[in-house]
Amino acid sequence: MPKLDPIISEFATTEEAEAYDAWFRAKVENSLASDKPGIPHEEVMAMMKKIIDRKKQA
């Protein structure tokens, strides 16, 4: 199990990096293939602002 340099990778091993890459690619492919309607940018930004504001208050 080769170790990865923490300056170069956030993963400890090549296997961890490859597993994350496979998981991430599957999530993206599923999202692209989804029939669900997208969320408008302005709506997402408003949701994120609420989350950030709540975290700042906590």
Grouped pLDDT means (10 residues each) for the chain, 58 residues: 76 90 97 94 98 96
Tokens of 12: 């400890």
pTM of the model: 0.60
In order of 6, 9, 25, 27, 28, the CA distances from 16 in angstroms are: 13, 10, 14, 17, 18
User: Which residue reads 């293939």 in tokens?
Assistant: 33
Helical spans, DSSP H, in the chain: 14-33, 41-57
pLDDT value at residue 1: 66
